[in-house]
Structure 1
Amino acid sequence: MTALEVSEQITRLRRVFNDILQVSDLARLRSTVQKLEQQAADPELWQNQERAQQITSELSRCKTKLEKLNFVAARLDDAVVSLELAAEHETAPDSAQLVTEAATELQELEQLIGELEAQTLLNGKYDEYPAVMTIRAGAGGVDAADFAEMLQRMYLRYAEKKGYLTRIMDVSYAEEAGIKSCTIEFDEPYAFGTLSVESGTHRLVRMSPFNSAGKRQTSFAAVEVIPLLPEASTVEIPDSEIRVDVYRSSGPGGQSVNTTDSAVRITHLPTGIVVAMQNEKSQLQNRAAALRVLQSRLLILQREAEAAKKKELAGEITAAWGDQMRSYVLAPYQMVKDLRTQHEVNTPQAVFDGALDGFLAAGIRWRSLRQNAGV
């Protein structure tokens, strides 16, 4: 990359970053951090656990955003300095090296600014809430169950890298390998806005480890993401409208992990919605957690009357041919491609290890463009 090309890229990134700063309102963000820090320092804060958790969580989110904005601003300035030094000493032996260093710096900044740009678009009605993700094995037999478990690990690794608090609320294990389904809570502000673009059918193509002939196998899994709404926003559900079944929690292979019937499955009779929980130790705790998720689902249906909006938030996903939104190809070549945004990488193992930032940012921008176009 030439010095002129680096200069043009810096100008473009600076323009995008200035737009981000304007939307982020840096002065207001600093003021918010200061106020939250004062509230967090109040020794009486933890007398109200729920309020304390809300304040500390919001403080963490705002400080992380502020630190990232300051970090990107400093690195943009460093790139400018490197380019200026290269121009001043154009004939010096290290001039080309300075241009190369600036170009390398800009490649990393391109990704960081892209992520920040996507985050400014999280202004939907439910975007600020934590999320509940359900992963279901689709067509493909044992490979599909194994793929569902691979996706479970992928999202948990992503959350771990981001510092999200996660909780596996329910897992249904398959007989031979993998899982039939799982439900994961992501307890982080804006988790729904970020992860909701993952809703849809995911497709895996690979040489099957479960096929003695080593043939290539295509399998599918469905991902559904809903917002976990505050308890104060939940709807009342008459006891006559639900059926509660209790059973013993189980682990892989059906091995019992609990000697009492503590797992709970709640069926909402009018809608047919089923929510199962087995993470907590007591039946009462599992029942309360299941009811909260059910209430969140019902509130979405209640507030969004149109079928198209219901599908957008809760999803009707077939997990089969013709419905996939992303393909993970491990054979005969290596590729992960989002079929909506066309975002593509050739490092599937990194993606399965939680490297999802590029796909999430592209998905958020794609969704914003569709909303602006009225699609």
Structure 2
Amino acid sequence: MATDYQIEIDSLRKSFEQIEQVTNPEELRSRIAQLTEESAAPDLWDDPEKAQGVTSKLSHAQSELDKVTKMSTRIDDLEALLEMATEEGAEDPEMAAELYADLDKELALVLKDLQELHIRTLLSGKYDERSAVVTIRSGAGGVDAADFAQMLQRMYVRWAERRGYATRIMDTSYAEEAGIKSTTFEVEAPYAYGTLSVEAGTHRLVRISPFDNQGRRQTSFAAVEVIPLIEQTDHIEIPESDIRIDVFRSSGPGGQSVNTTDSAVRITHLPTGIVVSMQDEKSQIQNRASAMRVLQSRLLLLKQEEEAKEKKELAGDIKASWGDQMRSYVLQPYQMVKDLRTGFEAGNPEHVFDGEIDGFIDAGIRWRATGEKVAKES
């Protein structure tokens, strides 16, 4: 028995050493020292947005370093626990059984946390460490699609809440009967973009429509777009001649002054046709600034995609993009949520719609990095 446990612990240690090489604790310590110096600057809070960015990055870097350093200690503790259980085996079998039970529990926890650390090492894209801006649009399926879009919005917001991430609804266009035509919201957290970027694509819902008085089954679609949040260090020049700005009165639920003035802003980028609307803030100036920031983020991602496409063409390696239907949520005639790219599936859609999507996200990150399909039920 002890030999089997030792093999497991040795395997965990080997996996951790590989993760440690990628995370590079020394580099993390250097980054923490630099960010600590920046956070101590007397004029830091003269620019609140920059200050929040610095403090957020510092908190994240410290958290990452803690996870790595504590993991090494936890694996050492497993060794010590195994040694104690082995020694007690001959003298006190009952005590040894309790120690082995504790060892089983801790082995499972360490394995789970190691897998999370491994997933993070796969987020090495240029913008992966940014906060994310998520846009959801209802597609084919009429009122069911609008309702589905709102269900997805709640799903991602609940996922963020479970992780302690801040979210901010930036714009929502409500449908006439139920649900939403579209929504844009920000998820403020390090690596939110890298994590959520695997959720981009077309989502499909199959269910008995609550809006059909004949109780027929309905298939509806919604599109999810995820872009990195622009930062002050990014340089995307947008000439005034390339944009058209329209102002209008905010619609839908809002505060007392939100719906009574022409504070909402719509910016159209004429060369690409990209349209960004913003009505979350009460002032037109604030909405314009937010809209410009999202427009810059979309143009930044578009530029990145064009560069990646050009590189693939030059290399003669043109691969198909992600399929139109990247995930299906089936509520009738059976209960199943399945990702069509990774094979990951869950048998409880209610839990998924309540934000329990880490399994899908982790599988998506592994699939994107390695092409690995998991064919696993959560």
CA contact (8 A) 1:263 1:286 kept: yes
Secondary structure (helix, strand or coil) at the match of 2:89 reads coil
Q: Which residue of 2 aligns with 1:8?
A: 7
Structure 1 residues 44 and 243: CA distance shift in structure 2, 3 A: closer
> What TM-score results when the alignment is normalised by the length of structure 2?
0.84
CA contact (8 A) 1:337 1:344 kept: yes
CA contact (8 A) 2:258 2:282 kept: no
1:301-340 matches, within 5 Å, as: 301-305=302-306, 308=309, 323-340=324-341
Q: CA deviation at 1:224?
A: 0.7
Question: How far does the alpha carbon of each residue in 1:302-350 deviate from its partner, in whole angstroms, 9 at most, with x for none?
Answer: 454358479xxxxx999xxx72112223344433322212222333333
Q: Distance in 2 between matches of 1:146 and 1:74?
A: 48
Q: CA deviation at 1:165?
A: 2.6
Secondary structure (helix, strand or coil) at the match of 1:93 reads helix
Deviates more, 1:211-220 or 1:338-347: 211-220
Q: Distance in 1 between matches of 2:310 and 2:115?
A: 27
Structure 1 residues 104 and 243: CA distance shift in structure 2, 3 A: same
Q: Distance in 1 between matches of 2:332 and 2:102?
A: 36
Q: Distance in 2 between matches of 1:283 and 1:43?
A: 31
CA contact (8 A) 1:147 1:204 kept: yes
Q: Which residue of 2 aligns with 1:299?
A: 300
Q: Which residue of 2 aligns with 1:218?
A: 219
Q: Which residue of 2 aligns with 1:139?
A: 140
Larger RCO: Structure 1 or Structure 2 (Cα < 8 Å, ≥ 6 residues apart)?
Answer: 1
| Aligned residue type for 1:40 | S
CA contact (8 A) 1:173 1:252 kept: no
CA contact (8 A) 1:6 1:99 kept: no
Q: Which residue of 2 aligns with 1:313?
A: none
Q: Which residue of 2 aligns with 1:365?
A: 366
Q: Which residue of 2 aligns with 1:22?
A: 21
Deviates more, 1:193-202 or 1:27-36: 27-36
Q: Which residue of 2 aligns with 1:40?
A: 39
Question: How far does the alpha carbon of each residue in 1:263-310 deviate from its partner, in whole angstroms, 9 at most, with x for none?
Answer: 111112221111110011111211121112112222333454358479
| Aligned residue type for 1:361 | D
Deviates more, 1:336-345 or 1:272-281: 336-345
CA contact (8 A) 2:257 2:282 kept: no
Secondary structure (helix, strand or coil) at the match of 2:133 reads strand
Q: Distance in 2 between matches of 1:271 and 1:106?
A: 52
Q: CA deviation at 1:370?
A: 4.7
> What TM-score results when the alignment is normalised by the length of structure 1?
0.85
Q: Which residue of 1 aligns with 2:316?
A: none
Q: Distance in 1 between matches of 2:143 and 2:132?
A: 28
- Structure 2 unaligned blocks of 5 or more: 312-319, 373-378
Q: Distance in 1 between matches of 2:137 and 2:292?
A: 20
Deviates more, 1:192-201 or 1:43-52: 43-52
Q: Distance in 1 between matches of 2:205 and 2:132?
A: 24
Q: Is 1:112 matched up with 2:82?
A: no
CA contact (8 A) 1:115 1:358 kept: no
Q: Which residue of 2 aligns with 1:186?
A: 187
Q: Distance in 2 between matches of 1:3 and 1:223?
A: 49
Q: CA deviation at 1:112?
A: 1.8
Between the two proteins, what is the percent identity of the paired residues?
60
Q: Is 1:63 matched up with 2:62?
A: yes
CA contact (8 A) 1:201 1:326 kept: yes
CA contact (8 A) 1:231 1:292 kept: no
Q: Which residue of 2 aligns with 1:88?
A: 87
Structure 1 residues 234 and 166: CA distance shift in structure 2, 3 A: farther
Q: Distance in 2 between matches of 1:89 and 1:309?
A: 64
Structure 1 residues 257 and 40: CA distance shift in structure 2, 3 A: closer
Question: How far does the alpha carbon of each residue in 1:18-51 deviate from its partner, in whole angstroms, 9 at most, with x for none?
Answer: 1111211223323433443354345443234344
Q: CA deviation at 1:155?
A: 1.2
- Structure 1 unaligned blocks of 5 or more: 311-315
Secondary structure (helix, strand or coil) at the match of 1:267 reads strand
Q: CA deviation at 1:133?
A: 1.0
Question: How far does the alpha carbon of each residue in 1:184-221 deviate from its partner, in whole angstroms, 9 at most, with x for none?
Answer: 11233322111111111112233333333444433221
Question: How far does the alpha carbon of each residue in 1:221-267 deviate from its partner, in whole angstroms, 9 at most, with x for none?
Answer: 111111122244243323332222221111159x9951011111111
- Number of residue equivalences: 362
